[in-house]
Every structure is written in C-alpha cells, then in structure tokens.
Amino acid sequence: MASSPVVDLRGVVAVVGRFPALAGVDLRVGSGEVVLVRGPNGAGKTTLLRLCAGLLPVTDGHAEVLGVDLAVAGRDVRRRVGLLGHATFLYADLTVLENAVFWARATGVTPDDAVAALDRLEVPARVRDLPVRSLSTGQRRRVSLAVTVARRPELWLLDEPHAGLDATGRDLVDGLVAEASAAGATVLFASHELERAEAVARRIVTIAGGVVTDDEVVRRSSDAGVGGEVSGDP
Amino acid sequence: MIRDVLLVARKDLRLEWRSRVGVGQVLPFALLCVLLFAFALDVDRGVLQEATSGLFWVVVLFATVLVVQRAFAIEADDGVLDALRLSGLAPSAVYLGKVVAITVELLALEVVLWLAVAVLYDTTLRGWGLLAATVVLATLGAAAAGATYGVVGLRLRGAETLLPLLLLPLLAPVLIGATSASDVALGRSAGPGWPWAAMLGIFSGVYLLLGSVLFRPLMEDP
C-alpha cells in the first residue's frame, strides 16, 4: 500500500428503505485507479456509488472515502466528489448556460470553468441558450457531465456514464476518465456496456446481491501510461 | 452566506418566471377565490367589507400552499435535490434562498390581490404603514414556515395533499395576526394594530431560525 486508499469499505451495509442494498461490501480503491463496478440490475452498484458520495447513511461496517469516515462526517466528502447519476441533476427550465453557471457557483468554481467544461464536452454553442428540457437525452447527458467536470472532483463516481451518448460522446467520456486518472483523481464507475467499460478500466469489481463477488486487476497503471496506485485487494 | 442565499433565490425566481406557473396558475386561482367570495357574500355588501381582511388572508394562505409546493417540486425533478446536497451550498442558505423567493412571489401576488379586493369588495385601502408592515411580516412568516414544511413534503408520498394538512394549521397564527392588523389598518377595528404586527414578526423570526437549523436534517435521506 503506497498511500491510504481513496475508498476504504469494510463490511459495509447500507439499508435503503427496508432493503439491504449493500450487505457487507469490502472494497479498497487507491489514488488514480479506474475501477469498473459491474453486476446485474439490483446488485447494489448505484447504492455503492451514492454511498461513496456521502448521500446514503452507512448502516453498518466501516466506510472511509477521501480519508473521511462517512459514518462521522459523510457530508464532508460531498464537495470533493463528482457524481454522475441516472438523473441529470439539471433544472429543466433553465438554459444550459444558466445551469452550468448556477452549479459552478454552487460548487465554488467560476463560471469560466463551467464554460470551459461545456467546451470540453463539445456542447454546441447553439444549444447553450436553450432550456435543458428542449435538449435530447444525449445532449443533457453531456451538460450533466460538463457540470461534473467543472468541479474537478478528487473522486469521480459515474453511474452508466456512456448511457444515452453517441459514439463521439462515449469517446469523450473515455478521454475524460483517462485524463482524470492521469491527473491523480480516482474513478469508480458502473456500467452495463462491458466491452467499452472494460477497455477503460484497470480493475473490475463484480458485485451481486450487495456484496463484492470478484475483484480483478485487468491492467496495471504502468500499462496504461498514467499515474496512480493500484491498492485494491484483487 | 448571503451570496449563496441570493444565488438560490435568483435561480428560483428565474425558474418561476420561465415556467409561468405563478402568473398562469397561482394568480388566477387566487383571483378566482376572491371573486367567488364576492359572489357568495354579494347579497350583503356590508358583510363582504367587514370580512375583507380575513378573506384576503385566507386566499393568501391557499396561494402560499401552492407556491411552496411549486418551490420544492422543482428540486424533486431529475435528482436536483441530490445535486444540492453534493454542492457546497449550506442547507441554511438553500432554505433562506427559498424563503426569499417565496416571499417575493407572494408579495407580488398580494399587490394584485389587494387591488382586486379594493375593486370587488369596495374596500378603501388605508393605514398604509401598518398595512405594509403586516403584509411583509405575514408573508415572510408564511414563507418561512412553508419552506420548512415544503422540504418535508419532498420525502413523503402524497405530498400534494399532505402539505396543506401540515401547513395550514401551522399558519393559523399568521391568519389571526394578519387579519387583526389589517382590520385595524383598514379602519374595521379600533384596537391597536402594531402588537399584531409585532407578533407576526416574532412568528417569522422563530420560523426563520427553526427552518435554518432543521433544513439540514430535513434535506437528508431518512
């Protein structure tokens, strides 16, 4: 272990409603790692990502993210992570630019950062003054990603990041993940598009029934040409 | 803190302006209520004039429920509440921003409603100082209490029907204080009006404090 893990979960249980969506997850993820979380529907992937974002309470076990004990101060990690969920996290009646600027200010970055992120995600200038509700699913997804990119998170939590995107958009996501990892950020993402996702990930964690059933390193960081520590327990 | 409050308030007002729900739905609903009261009590214009303040504030409270529901419905769409929780915004800033936006919307509505009441109920508006203070403090109190309970509604099934049940009894002090103070301002009652306005101020202060403290746990998943 070269450094303390970014994600350190030991026997983590998370009950959503009355259902134990996570039933004793053990997972350690190091700095700069790109980890694919795969599993069938209802396996607990989304719950795992939301828990790591500090949005869900830890029912049992020990959960530490970015050095913060989630049971003690889960809210403290929220500003340091970037979560891309199934929802877009956008106001449908605000324009693309208004959304980007609002979330930039809300997360403590500048409007210029927001515009740069829209440029990075190749959101066309002609749609930036349109209300989000008039955009296609793919365009909304790009805007949502831009908002996540603008805040420069230390830990990226991406739930089905390729969903709804065209080929160019998917390539952009892969490029962003590689860039984030190269910059030292950690990426944890869930995907059903296994072929593409496995090409991006350096480690694949399989989850089923709320527990980790498999954990394998598929590419070392030196192979990928990016920095970081592989600190899992494969 | 003030920057964040204004950020949320501006966003809410912009959303409201874009969606036109206030102008297109809440305002017509409130005007319709004023008109229906006029139809119901028109046979005796004296009763209508005597009851002007009470009828006005009942309509405002109904409108408050609608405005509060709308203010929180926009946060329930497409995971925005989670995004707010993930942002660096202090929950108290989100709460106060919502209170500011709701207050501004209701004040705009009340200006139109007072004009409608003046015409339809044949009421002369006067006692401007007391009336203005009453309007501002009662509206602030209604918005402060409404925003506190509005976020609770996000977490409950059947929030559309539950919110009025939770909120209207709670707003009874606003109704009593605002009606009494308005009666004095309009010359319908001879008693002192400012103590009622002061009560409205205390109510507003208490709810602003409570809401600022409670909003953080209320925003969280149960």
> Which comes out higher in pLDDT, residue B216 or B64?
B64
- Is a pLDDT exceeding 50 seen at residue B182? yes
Measured between beta carbons, the chain A residues lying within 8 angstroms of B82 are 50, 55, 83, 85, 87, 89
> What number is the ipTM of this complex?
0.86
User: Residue A130 belongs to a domain with what CATH number?
Assistant: 3.40.50.300
- What is the average per-residue pLDDT within A89-112? 94
- B156 at A interface, C-beta within 8 A: no
Q: Which residues of A touch B18 (CB under 8 A)?
A: 93-94, 131
The nearest CA of chain A is from the CA of B146 a distance in Å of 22
What pLDDT is stored for residue A230 in this prediction? 38
Domain membership flag for residue A177: yes
Q: Which residues, 6 or more positions from A105, have their beta carbon under 8 angstroms from its beta carbon?
A: A111, B7
Q: How many percent of chain B have pLDDT more than 70?
A: 97
Assign A228 a pLDDT band (cuts: 50, 70, 90): very low
Q: B44 CB near a chain A CB, below 8 Å?
A: no
**Partner-chain residue, chosen from A79, A91, A93, that has the shortest CB–CB distance to B88:** A79
Confirm whether A12 is domain-assigned. Answer: no
Instruction: Taking residues A114-142, report their average pLDDT.
Output: 93
Q: Do B82 and A86 touch (CB under 8 A)?
A: no
Closest of A164, A203, A189, A156 to residue A45, by C-alpha: A189
- Contact criterion met (CB < 8 Å) for A90 and B74: no
Whether A178 shows a pLDDT value over 50: the answer reads: yes
In percent, the amount of chain A with pLDDT more than 70 equals 92
Q: Identify the pLDDT of residue A76.
A: 83
Amino acid A234: pLDDT: 35
Predicted local confidence at residue A219, as pLDDT? 63
Domain assignment present for residue A106? The answer is yes
User: pTM here?
Assistant: 0.88
Residues of B in contact with A131 (CB under 8 A): 18
Is there a domain that residue A35 lies in? yes
Please give the full DSSP string across A5-69, using - where no structure is assigned. -SEEEEEEEEEETTEEEEEEEEEEE-TT-EEEEE-STTSSHHHHHHHHTT-S---EEEEEETTEE
> Which of A85, A103, A131 faces B87 most closely, judged by CB atoms?
A103
Assess if residue A120 is contained within a domain. yes
Which of B15, B82, B89 comes nearest A55 by C-beta? B82
Q: Identify whether A24 is part of a domain.
A: no
Give the pLDDT score at A225.
42
What's the structural domain count of chain B?
Answer: 1
Chain A 75-134, residues with CB within 8 Å of chain B CB atoms: 75, 78-79, 81, 83, 85-94, 98, 102-103, 105-108, 131
Residue A196 lies in a domain: yes
| Residue in B closest to A109 by C-alpha | B88
Residue A90 is predicted with a pLDDT of: 95
Q: How far apart are CA A137 and CA A115, in angstroms?
A: 20
Q: Is the dihedral of CA A176, A181, A184, A188 positive or negative?
A: positive
Percent of chain B's residues with pLDDT above 90 = 65
HSE-CB at A115 with a 13 A cutoff on CA atoms is 5
The model's confidence at residue A227, banded by pLDDT at 50, 70 and 90, is very low
Asked whether residue B138 carries a pLDDT value surpassing 90, the answer given is: yes
pLDDT digits (tens, 9 = 90+) for A179-226: 888 888 999 999 887 778 777 888 999 999 889 998 888 865 445 444
Q: Which pLDDT belongs to residue A72?
A: 84
Residue contact B15–A93, C-beta within 8 A: yes
What digits encode the pLDDT tens for the residues A1-17? 456 899 999 999 999 88
Q: How far is A225 from chain B (nearest CA, A)?
A: 31
The rounded percent of chain A whose pLDDT value lies above 90 is 54
Mean pLDDT of B78-90: 89
Q: Which amino acid is at B70?
A: R
The answer to whether B12 touches B97, Cβ cutoff 8 Å, is yes
Residue A141 placed within a domain: yes
Range of the domain at A106: 31-57+66-224
**Structure tokens belonging to residue A76:** 């403290």
pLDDT attached to residue B184 = 92
Pick A97 or B222 by higher pLDDT: A97
Residue B79 contacts A, CB cutoff 8 Å: yes
Tell me what the mean pLDDT of segment B75-100 comes to: 91
Q: What is the pLDDT of residues A19-61, one digit of tens each?
A: 888 998 999 999 989 999 999 888 899 999 999 999 998 999 9
Q: Using an 8 Å Cβ cutoff, are B36 and B154 in contact?
A: no
Please give the full DSSP string across B103-143, using - where no structure is assigned.
HHHHHHHHHHHHHHHHHHTT-----HHHHHHHHHHHHHHHH
Place of tokens 């950062």: A113
From the candidates B6, B86, B216, which should be mutated to test the interface with A, based on the most A CB atoms within 10 A? B86
> Which range of residues forms the domain containing residue B147?
2-219
Which of the two residues, B177 and A225, has the higher pLDDT score?
B177
Instruction: Note whether A79 contacts B87, CB cutoff 8 Å.
Output: yes
Judging contacts by C-beta atoms under 8 Å, the chain A residues touching residue B77 are 91-92
